[in-house]
Chain A
Amino acid sequence: MNLLWVVLLPLIGTLVPLLTERFGRNVCAFSVAILPAWSLILVLMHAGDIFEGQDIRQSIEWIPTMGLDLSFRLDGLALLFLLLILGIGLLVILYARYYLSAKDSMGRFYAYLILFMTAMVGIVISNNLIQLWMFWELTSISSFLLISFWSHKSEARKGARMALTVTGAGGLALLAGLLLIGSMVDSYDLDAVLANGDLIRAHAAYPVALILVLLGAFTKSAQFPFHFWLPHAMSAPTPVSAYLHSATMVKAGIFLMARFYPALAGTDLWFIIVSLTGLTTLLLGAYIALFKHDLKGLLAYSTISHLGLITLLLGLNSDLAAVAAVFHIINHATFKASLFMAAGIIDHESGSRDMRRLNGLWKYMPYTATLAIVAALSMAGVPLLNGFLSKEMFFAETLTQSMLGSLSWLIPLLATLGAAFSVAYSLRFIHDVFFNGEPIDLPKMPKEPPRYMKVPVEILVALCLLVGIFPAFVVGDLLDVASFAVLSHDVPVHNLAIWHGFNVPLLMSFLAMVGGVTIYYNRHHLFQFQSHFDEADAKHIFEGVVQSIVKFSQRFIDALENGSLQRYVFLLLISTLVMGAWPLLDLTQNVGSRTQIPIDAIAITGAILMILSAIATVIWHRRRFLALIFLSVVGLIVSLAFAQFSAPDLALTQLSVEIVTIILLLLALFFLPQTTQKESSHRRLSLDFLVSGLIGCVIGTICYAMLTSPLDTISDFFIANSKTGGGGTNVVNVILVDFRGFDTFGEIIVLGIAALGIFKLIANMRIYMPARDDKGRAWSNDPHPMMFEMVSQSLLPLALLVSAYIFLRGHNMPGGGFIAGLITSVAIIQQYIAHGVQWIKPRVTLDYQWVIASGILIATATGLGSWIFGKPFLSTWFDYFHLPWIGEFELASAMLFDLGVYLTVVGAVMLILANLGKLTTSERHDIKENG
């Protein structure tokens, strides 16, 4: 079976609602359900293997050198969660169809929901730590989108932001923890991690890793002190609360603890942190839940409390407790999801969730009331319902632990107290809403909901009953395989039965019942007592912290960022200087052992000319035209230097680029001021000069040290294989089109993108066209001198011939696509300058965008062509042929690639220069993006 499809199907399903929304609500909901249902069927088809003890694994290599694989596993625990996620997910889809009003965008809602479902499925079947974490973060993001679905409500936005901040921060801690664990076992493979539990627990960094992972789990599962986000997330639509905040997302933290149970659990540290956090959360949640007047608020705190219970069980370091934890995951998901759905129905049909106004609904919606009461009784832990069974197991486990030494007796006592409060708030849910007088001032007349809105609740409540009455038959096997996956050894004997005889856990249950009824009966005293305390609203604290962080960052940014590019560049250069000069202080000698080349007169002359021109560029930089002339002298000497030092290809490239650059800058100068006024202060000038001078010294020193040190190069390989492997004798060109062809491929794409970006910038530019130069002289009225026109026209074929020659010989002699492309461009530009745009326009009807596109396409096709022969992208081929009259010649696929380079270069240069040139003429307004 293909486990990848289990994730992939819901992922594809994310798009379905967006496409089917227009066909109406029923079609949309139905089509949305298809792919997750298919995924569920895939899982069920292989449930048999899991029950026989055969885990399924699948792995697709991604970046094997970094230990990153797309890796999946389906074991008992994953199976259990998949059933919850996909099963309850399908019920929620049905429920949401009736819950959402016509105003809500159904497509958007379902898309977010299915995206979330994908993320959850991804978490539970990941077999790679990094992959697991990625899906983990995806749940945070998709739940943010879901909570803020009603984004016009302020509390929805705030709640979503809070949930994202808390769970996202936890996610970062989790990433750190997972990386730490990965480095301990030297693998990100989950199998390897789980098999090396002893190694991890003995590692010095174990406490750090444990705390980081637990931070991730506790934030996600709303454990104290991170529980505050969950009640605020209740501003989400109720289907979201039913799905995310009872059955799935908040269980992700629990899943994480269960998943890493074999690797991390079993130590005292684990016990102290996990069980105490769980116990605190259990008590706190149960206590606060009683005082919530909001129906969903009560359920939210009850969820927090039950999550605490599961956490406590996992923290007890006992096998049976882990089994109980897994059992309670199932039970809590069923009764809490149905309760949320019932709360949603009540809200939907009566218009209120306030229990002070909702009373006596039994008369108006008896059927819904019955369902809700059964589910609430399960939450309270009443016999014959599933909540009772796991609560009994929980009580039994609190009795057997002895980790707190002589204070261990406190734990069962506190557990009973928590259970009593749980009974009390369950009673409140039942009594306050469905009985206790008449409804007060409700916006709507309460009535039963549409038939199919009740179906998901019915199914879940039926499950509560079935599990409660026939536990071993309904969930026995599933519980066994899931517990086996958690413990990674044989599951201890446990007896899933309703009746275990008269024992202490039963007594604790009884006490909890009695206590709960007593608390509820005396609730008015408790409410009075509670009203003496100011409710510390987490929202205000959270917002305060966020505000102060924002304020601090704002101050920091204001101090650093004042909007001046000059300042940024200056700061950047200072830090460059510090970082670049620092290591040089340790370098005692900067002359290496390499024999130096003796100085000759020509080189000296060239160097002096270059230095003087560079300095002249700086001195006269305010007279821009003059500066440009000096700049071109520098460029020419740079290309001569390349020629001198055995780099003919570079010399040719530099020379032709120099020409197009100067033409470009001249064109630009036409539109920009011809001079710069003095505006820098002397202090600024000397500071700038100091910094740039120091950096120049550092660079010069490094350059000198590098030049004089012996050369240790990898290029011998290229030289040795250039002819035999690449079929060319010009090694530089063979590197470009063959050995490092992929780099070149990337570079021509960058070139194309730059050219298109420039085209776009030019297309909408409305720039002032000066009629006179800076001295007030009008531009010549004879812009295209006759002699120039004639000469350049006759030069064109010659120049194109040279460019073709340079192109063809490129593989074996200096030349190639880059240089030939530049030469062609220069030849065409010369025609533009000599004749003007009007003359060129009817003669060259080529669109330069298409030239770029065809160049890149040819290069890509050449690369892809090697796939036909089963070789990697851009493998080259060459052979020698003999033709009569012409003689021996070579054909190489690299030449086709070089043709792509050539076309891209020509297209890019022409697109830039021709369009910029057009701005100077009356054609300027014809530059359209589609033209």
Chain B
Amino acid sequence: MEAIYAFCVGILTTCGLFLVLRGRTFTVVIGLTLLSYAVNLFLFASGRLKLDGAAVLGQSAEYSDPLPQALVLTAIVIGFAMTAFVVILAMRSRADQGNDHVDGQSSSLPTRSSASDKRNS
């Protein structure tokens, strides 16, 4: 089971990072979401895998490690806030710049000077 789990984490990381490297904001947001799944699963794994051992006293003979769970729980909620912020930023960037490229420029004018001109204006 551990091998499958680790494999899944690896796949999610790969897919997430590949999408993060793309050039359009929405794709990057999707990549970040995938990546945060991978990160949360990875952090959770630091408490090891245990079946039928919820960390509720009196419910099982052996408990799973509650500390990573508590950390991941807040990470999930904060992750949502982060995703929301990034996606709104992406919308804002499109509203202000007129396109949804991560560098704030469409692919037809990929020069640095045009980007800096825009910033200065």
Kindly state the interface size class of chain A when it binds its partner: 35 or more
Say yes or no for A570: interface residue by CB 8 A criterion: yes
Across the interface, A711 reaches (CB within 8 A) one of B14, B26, B65, namely B65
Q: Tell me the residues in window 745-760 of chain A with beta carbons closer than 8 Å to chain B beta carbons.
A: 747, 750-751, 754-755, 757-758
A736 in contact with B74 given A566-B103, A692-B18, A696-B17 (CB within 8 Å): yes
Query: Would you list 17 pairs from A and B whose C-beta atoms are within 8 A, ordered by A residue?
Result: A597-B2, A607-B5, A617-B34, A618-B18, A641-B8, A645-B44, A645-B64, A646-B53, A647-B54, A657-B79, A661-B83, A692-B14, A692-B18, A701-B6, A735-B66, A765-B91, A812-B56
Considering the chains assembled together, what is the distance between the CA atoms of A596 and B50 in angstroms? 10
Cross-interface CB contact of A680 among B23, B25, B112, B115, cutoff 8 Å: B23
Tell me whether B89 and A679 are in contact (CB under 8 A): no
Asked if A713 contacts B65 (CB within 8 A), the reply is: yes
- Asked if A699 and B77 make an inter-chain contact with CB atoms under 8 angstroms apart, the answer reads no
**Which of B12, B17, B83, B94 is A671 in contact with, Cβ under 8 Å?**
B94
In chain B, positions 42-65 with a C-beta closer than 8 Å to chain A are 42, 44-58, 60, 63-65
Q: List the A residue with the shortest CB-CB distance to B64.
A: A646
Are the CB atoms of A653 and B77 closer together than 8 Å? yes
Tell me whether B70 and A672 are in contact (CB under 8 A). Answer: no
Question: How many residues on chain B are close to A (CB under 8 Å)?
Answer: 87
Q: Among residues 68 to 121 in chain B, which have CB atoms less than 8 Å away from a CB atom of chain A?
A: 69-70, 72-74, 76-85, 87-92, 94-95, 100, 102-103, 107, 112, 115-116
Complex Cα–Cα for A648 and B78 (A): 19
Q: Which of A617, A668, A700, A758 contacts B9 (CB 8 A)?
A: A700
Residue of B47, B77, B95 with highest tally of chain A CB at under 10 A:
B77
Contacts of B57 in A (CB 8 A): 719, 722-723, 729-731
Determine whether the beta carbon of A617 is less than 8 Å from that of B15. Answer: yes
A672, B25: Cβ atoms under 8 Å? yes
Distance between Cα atoms of A603 and B4 in the complex (Å): 9
Instruction: Name the residue of chain A whose CB is nearest to the CB of B10.
Output: A700
Given the known A-B contacts A680-B22, A700-B6, A731-B57, are A718 and B84 also in contact in the complex, defined by CB atoms under 8 Å?
no
| B interface residues, Cβ below 8 angstroms from A | 1-27, 29-30, 33-34, 37-38, 40-42, 44-58, 60, 63-67, 69-70, 72-74, 76-85, 87-92, 94-95, 100, 102-103, 107, 112, 115-116
Complex: A611 Cα to B46 Cα, angstroms = 21
Q: With A564-B103, A597-B49 given, is the CB distance from A729 to B85 under 8 Å?
A: no
Considering the chains assembled together, what is the distance between the CA atoms of A618 and B20 in angstroms? 11
Are B73 and A761 in touch, CB under 8 angstroms? Answer: no
User: Given A604-B4, A631-B30, A814-B54, A700–B72 Cβ distance below 8 Å?
Assistant: no
Interface of chain A residues 727 through 776 with chain B (CB within 8 A): 729-732, 735-736, 740, 743-744, 747, 750-751, 754-755, 757-758, 761-762, 765-768
- CB-based contact B55/A646 at 8 Å: yes
Please list the 10 inter-chain residue pairs (A to B) with the smallest Cβ-Cβ separation, ordered nearest first: A700-B10, A696-B14, A692-B17, A704-B6, A754-B81, A729-B57, A597-B1, A767-B95, A731-B66, A646-B64
1/0 per residue, CB under 8 A from B, across A597-631: the answer is 11110011001001100110110011010011001
Q: Which residues between 542 and 596 of chain A lie within 8 Å of chain B, taking CB atoms?
A: 562-566, 569-570, 573, 594, 596
In the bound complex, how far is the Cα of B21 from the Cα of A156, in angstroms? 48
List, in ascending order, chain B residues with CB within 8 A of A624's CB: 26-27, 30
Once A664-B83, A751-B81 are accepted as A-B contacts, the answer to whether A700 and B7 lie under 8 Å apart by CB is yes
Complexed CA–CA distance, A762 and B96 (Å)? 12
Kindly list chain A residues whose C-beta atoms are within 8 Å of the C-beta of B3.
596, 704
B29 to chain A, nearest CB (A): 7
Known contacts A563-B116, A701-B6, A729-B57, A908 near B81 by CB under 8 Å: yes
Contact of B13 with A715 in the complex, beta carbons under 8 Å: no
CB <8 Å contact, A657 and B76: yes
In this complex, the member of A598, A747, A762 whose beta carbon has the largest number of chain B beta carbons within 10 angstroms is A747
A379-399 interface mask toward B, CB cutoff 8 Å, 1 = contact, 0 = none?
000000000000000000000
Q: How distant is the Cα of A696 from the Cα of B34 in the complex, in angstroms?
A: 12
A708 interface contact, C-beta 8 A: yes
**B13 near A758 (CB under 8 angstroms)?**
no
A713, B47: Cα distance in complex, Å: 8
A903 vs chain B, min Cβ distance (A): 14
Q: List residues of chain A with CB under 8 Å of any chain B CB.
A: 562-566, 569-570, 573, 594, 596-600, 603-604, 607, 610-611, 614-615, 617-618, 621-622, 624, 627-628, 631, 634-635, 638, 641-642, 644-650, 653-654, 657, 660-661, 664-665, 668-669, 671-673, 676, 679-680, 688-689, 691-693, 695-697, 699-701, 703-704, 706-708, 711, 713-715, 718-719, 722-723, 729-732, 735-736, 740, 743-744, 747, 750-751, 754-755, 757-758, 761-762, 765-768, 812-814, 818, 822, 905, 908-909, 912, 916
Contact B74 A621 (CB under 8 A): no
Asked if B19 and A653 make an inter-chain contact with CB atoms under 8 angstroms apart, the answer reads no
Cβ-neighbour of A638 out of B40, B74, B77, B107 (below 8 A): B40
- In the assembly, what is the distance between CA of A520 and CA of B8, in Å? 89
Question: Considering only CB atoms, which chain B residue lies closest to A720 in the complex?
Answer: B57
Please state if B107 and A562 are interface contacts (CB–CB under 8 Å). no
Asked if A650 and B72 make an inter-chain contact with CB atoms under 8 angstroms apart, the answer reads yes
State how many angstroms separate the Cβ of B65 from the closest Cβ of chain A.
Answer: 5
A129 to chain B, nearest CB (A): 37
Report whether A755 and B81 are in contact in the complex, using a CB–CB cutoff of 8 Å: yes
Closest partner residue, chain B, to A668 (CB atom): B87
Q: How far is the CB of B85 from chain A (nearest CB, A)?
A: 5
Residues of B within 8 A of A660 (CB): 80
| Minimum C-beta distance from B67 to chain A (A) | 5
**For residue B40, which residues in chain A have a CB less than 8 angstroms away from its CB?**
638, 654
In the complex, how many angstroms separate the beta carbon of B12 from the nearest chain A beta carbon?
Answer: 6
Chain A min CB distance to B73 (Å): 5
Given contacts A607-B7, A692-B13, contact A719 B77 (CB under 8 A): no
Known A565-B102, A621-B19: A596·B1 in contact at CB below 8 Å: yes
Using Cβ atoms and an 8 Å threshold, which residues of chain B touch A750? Answer: 78, 81
Give the residues in chain A near B29, CB-CB below 8 Å. 665, 668
Rounded to whole angstroms, the CA-CA distance of A708 and B48 in the bound complex is 8
The distance in angstroms between the C-alpha atoms of A610 and B11, with both chains bound, is 9
Whether the pair A703, B6 counts as a contact (CB closer than 8 A) is yes
* Cross-chain contact of B112 among A563, A618, A672 (Cβ < 8 A): A563
Q: Which residues of B contact A701 (CB under 8 A)?
A: 6, 10
Q: Report how far A743 CA is from B103 CA in the complex, Å.
A: 35
On whether the beta carbons of B85 and A754 are closer than 8 Å, the reply is: yes
Expressed in whole angstroms, the Cα–Cα distance for A746 and B68 within the complex equals 17
With beta carbons under 8 angstroms apart, the residue of B13, B41, B74 that contacts A695 is: B13
A611 contact from B11, B20, B81, Cβ within 8 A = B11
Taking the closest CB of chain A, its distance from the CB of B94, in whole angstroms, is 6
Min CB gap B49→A, angstroms: 5
B64→A700 contact, CB < 8 A? no
CB–CB B77/A635 < 8 A:
no
Residues of A within 8 A of B69 (CB): 647, 649-650, 732
CB distance from A610 to the nearest CB of B (A): 6
Is A758 within 8 A of B85, CB to CB?
A: yes
Query: How far does the alpha carbon of A751 sit from the alpha carbon of B80 in the complex, in Å?
Result: 9
A649-B69, A700-B13 known; A747+B87 contact, CB < 8 A? no
User: Closest B-chain residue to A905, C-beta based?
Assistant: B77
The CA of A598 and the CA of B66, in the complex, are separated in Å by 23
Taken together as a complex, chains A and B put the C-alpha atoms of A554 and B20 apart, in Å, by: 28
Q: How far is the CA of A660 from the CA of B77 in the complex (A)?
A: 11
Of all chain A residues, the one with the shortest Cβ separation from B24 is A676
Known A566-B103, A647-B44; contact A634-B90, beta-carbon cutoff 8 A: no
Identify the closest chain B residue to A600 (Cβ). Answer: B1
Nearest Cβ distance between residue B55 and chain A, in whole angstroms? 4
A729 to B14, alpha carbons, bound, how many Å? 38
* Contact of A672 with B90 at beta-carbon distance under 8 Å, contacts A617-B34, A657-B77, A703-B9 already known: yes
Given contacts A671-B94, A696-B14, A715-B65, contact A679 B23 (CB under 8 A): yes
Q: Enumerate chain B residues within 8 angstroms of A638, measured Cβ to Cβ.
A: 37, 40-41
B35 to chain A, nearest CB (A): 10
Residues of B within 8 A of A751 (CB): 77-78, 81
What's the Cα separation between A654 and B75 when bound, in Å?
10
